[in-house]
Structure 1
């Protein structure tokens, strides 16, 4: 059975038959109407059917499984059922586990006494989590490996109590190396339970999962377009003949504030992550890094503060995709826990931020390093233009990467002749004045400076541990000590690069450029900025027309419509 369209009348949450306390929580979250996947999935789930749902990123899949799960548990509690673990949510990464836990907490805000949650995906060891499981929470959230460890240690039992199994971001579980863990885990489950499998794509791994855990499911194939349309998501590519041009263009875009709002810059490795951060520090542009070397608590804290508006720029890696660009050999899966290549021994195998994580109010995504696959591009682009907000994706492309760009465009358009990734018009001759500054900054970012920066970052994040939580609760003004975008400064910072002289700003951009001139200062907490309703944050050189010069020494430009 397949469904793919909503009824003529768009339903409201009040029409879905949910518990009143859940409706209160939905109203408190500001959800006015269910999304397409929620409107289709919730009624079927409440009927007790197994679901296999595909919907694009940012479409509300978490709410689609969380609301019927919680409604069923509340009914069981009302019927006098004793406390037991009746819901299990499996996620492929620790960051997604934290996100799912937070969403479930919001939805149980008005029934917290009846529904208790336990997140096993955190950094605590199994011994520290056993007391939580002894209290028999209603819902357990965790990665397959962590849940399996507790089942094998008999600190968690699901054989007699489990009612609902949820597998979130199902297309990632096997690629993250959880195939064997999941198969072993299923042996500890009862014969009968309801299952929800949620995914952004239907690949071979999802089909394997379907055979393993689903029984005559309803398949929902929603949002055939894997990314929002051009009216919501603007996609550009920009050709960079050399590596130096990449850094030059990024410097101009950020230093002249040609891109407004919050930006995620995706790179291909941890080394590149710190190279880019140290490069931006030369120009006094603060940015925080997000990679698998950092402690999980630090990663979740960075995401939380970014969503609250503390930082404008995050440099993120998606090493799970880039560890093996060609993918595993047919019939084989990547094993968990391996040391990987030299220099990557401390990589967290349960790390993942390019997929599933709900970064809020992101104006633009920059693919500074080209994504290794179509799926990687889709998941990266899915960090912006979420729900109804507009967004922009800019991909830096070298000549050798044009065949890969063609593959992405072909996958996104299908039979359509429309080009989804439009060329971003940028006149390089007008920013040549920045080149010597860019070269000066790049010379300062040596391999030794990068190595020292990585070590310093890890040491500082380990010091900013859970042990300081009580102190900061008593001294909230000192919370800025935990900022993640502070300069690392192992490289020599040249003061003259901080400011942009007026003569370097191209005449065509003087009316729209706002050079980043102020020193990096400790910022106060500010509310998150919504990019809803704003125009494309990237301004093209071609969108600014020249005026005739009024004199031989002075020129002025005014913006005009595209």
Structure 2
């Protein structure tokens, strides 16, 4: 078995590794470290949670330690570009661990924090700069940092940088870096556009691939639960209560949706936090620290957190909203089952999200196991409101799905009694869809029967819909 010592790493780095849980190299590390130490450009493809940071960080630091003199005012030796603040923080923290007992200086610059403080940290230069593209461009334009002596460029999660439109920022930044440099690119998925980046920025690269692009970690148990949008919050509540004391991540499509879901879960007694692009860096750091320490049961996040969260205690990932970029599914569920641990992922699929589900199954090259409900019928999908279209229901307030989708469950406000039958009070009643899913799982699915009894005065059913599918009169819920 290969060891870090056998790879020829600096004794100073090997000593720092003794304080970590890294004992033997993972496949991506064992295959990447030698060519990087030899000065080759490299394209690395590996699943999330397999140790990509150490794969490029250890050999990069080995080469920097050989230089032996400071970089000079405002200059940097190595630049690591990442798409999110959370990933920047994770890499910075790992590099600080790897460089214990050395004079290597690590600096991080990201949006949402004081640009003046970051500029001050760069006054005497840095050996390694970990940065998000937007903030780095700000500092370059202010004259607070120079890339003229940067000999190493690392693009981590390069595919996500494409998703977030950073390609133009990358082009602006690359103009300031010498052409003669070592460039490393790492990713968990391989979209077509990434070939353009590789051809543009890498010279005769070594390609290291330890798993097929887009393949999730093997120890993640995956499944899909078909459920109307209005019933998702109560369904999530039931799943969370099945696993008390086990931390979970719930992903939403929008920042507003993350805040709304977090508020509802808090009302139902969960310790919950939400992070997304509208949170300041201090807020995001505080919430993540609280989650890591076990102070939160659930973290609700947008895809900004699908990369960069490395918390081994996360056991469950819930795709509350299906991701509209199928590759993001792999990164979302990669937040669990990290470093060889086991985890589970459950995706909640509403009628309008069948297209997203099919795109995910295409990159996985297999269908997700059905653990609740049943696939939505074509007429239900056609009549469903599209993601982002206002449907008039708040999280936790159940409405019937179009043309006979499951209804009821979430109609009661937190703390109040549900009207109608007992089955309407919780999403575990008698509405499990016939023919699909686990009979012990929470209910949901396209074929759930329409409730016919228990009408309120005026003809409204407990789910908030009049007979014949007409909307109730009065203002929409806000």
- Name the TM tier (shorter chain): 0.7 to 0.9
The structure-2 alpha-carbon separation of the partners of 1:131 and 1:405, relative to structure 1 and needing over 3 Å to count, comes to closer
CA displacement at 1:178 relative to structure 2: 2.2
Distance 1:310 1:200 in 2: 30
Question: Contact conserved, 1:234 with 1:391, CA < 8 A, in 2?
Answer: yes
Q: Secondary structure at the match of 1:15?
A: coil
Give 1:308 deviation, angstroms. Answer: 2.3
Q: C-alpha distance in 2, partners of 1:210/1:442? A: 45
Q: Are residue 195 (structure 1) and residue 183 (structure 2) matched?
A: yes
Q: 1:353 aligned to 2:309?
A: no
Structure with more of its chain in helix, by fraction: 1
1:214 aligns with 2:166: no
Q: Which residue of 2 aligns with 1:48?
A: 39
259-268 vs 118-127, greater mean Cα deviation: 118-127
What residue is the counterpart of 1:494 in the other structure?
Answer: 415
Report the equivalent of 1:75: 66
Kindly provide the CA deviation profile for residues 108-161 of structure 1, in whole angstroms up to 9, marking residues without a partner as x.
1121xx1011111153444333322121221111122322333333322222x2
Question: For 1:32 and 1:47, how far apart are their aligned partners in 2?
Answer: 23
Find out whether 1:268 has 2:240 as its counterpart.
no
Q: 2:240 aligns with which of 254, 271, 283?
A: 254
Q: What corresponds to 2:90 in structure 1?
A: 99
Deviation at 1:374, TM superposition (A): 1.7
Deviations 1:206-241 (A, max 9, x none): 2222122211111112211634465x111111121x
Asked if the contact 2:231–2:396 (Cα under 8 Å) also holds between the matched residues in 1, the reply is no
Q: Distance in 1 between matches of 2:313 and 2:188?
A: 20
User: Given that residues 261 and 395 in structure 2 are in contact (C-alpha distance below 8 angstroms), is that contact kept between their aligned partners in structure 1?
Assistant: no
Compute the TM-score of the two structures, normalised by the length of structure 1: 0.65
User: Is 2:122 aligned against 1:133?
Assistant: yes
Decide whether aligned partners of structure 1 residues 540 and 23 sit closer, same or farther in structure 2, where only a CA change above 3 A counts.
farther
Structure 1 counterpart of 2:222, from 235, 239, 251 = 235
What is the aligned counterpart of 1:19 among 10, 13, 29? 10
Q: What does 1:259-298 align with in structure 2 at a 5 Å threshold?
A: 261-298=246-283
Could you report, residue by residue, the CA deviation over 1:483-512 in whole angstroms, capped at 9, with x for unpaired residues? xxxxxxxx9863889xxx9xx99999xxxx
Is 1:99–1:357's contact at 8 Å kept on the other side of the alignment? yes
Q: Compute the TM-score of the two structures, normalised by the length of structure 2.
A: 0.75
Q: Is 1:66 equivalent to 2:52 in the alignment?
A: no
> What is the deviation of 1:258?
4.3
2:150 counterpart residue number: 162
Q: Distance in 1 between matches of 2:13 and 2:64?
A: 12
- C-alpha contact (below 8 Å) 1:95/1:296 kept by paired residues: no
Aligned partners of 2:209 and 2:116: how far apart in 1? 41
Q: Which residue of 350, 355, 360 corresponds with 1:398?
A: 350
> For 1:85-96, what aligned pairs fall within 5 Å after superposition?
85-96=76-87
Counterparts of 2:115 and 2:440, CA distance in 1 = 58
1:269 to 1:47, Cα distance in 2 relative to 1, 3 A: same
User: Who is 2:363 aligned against?
Assistant: 411
| 8 A contact 1:98–1:121 mirrored in 2 | no
Structure 2 unaligned residues grouped into runs of 5+:
375-392, 399-411, 430-436, 442-478
Counterpart mapping for 1:173-192 below 5 A: 173-192=161-180
Match of 1:422 among 346, 369, 372: 369
Match in the other structure for 2:108 = 119
Q: Given that residues 133 and 166 in structure 2 are in contact (C-alpha distance below 8 angstroms), is that contact kept between their aligned partners in structure 1?
A: yes
CA–CA separation in structure 2 for the residues paired with 1:120 and 1:443: 42
Question: Secondary structure of the equivalent of 1:106?
Answer: helix
RMSD across aligned positions (CA): 3.0
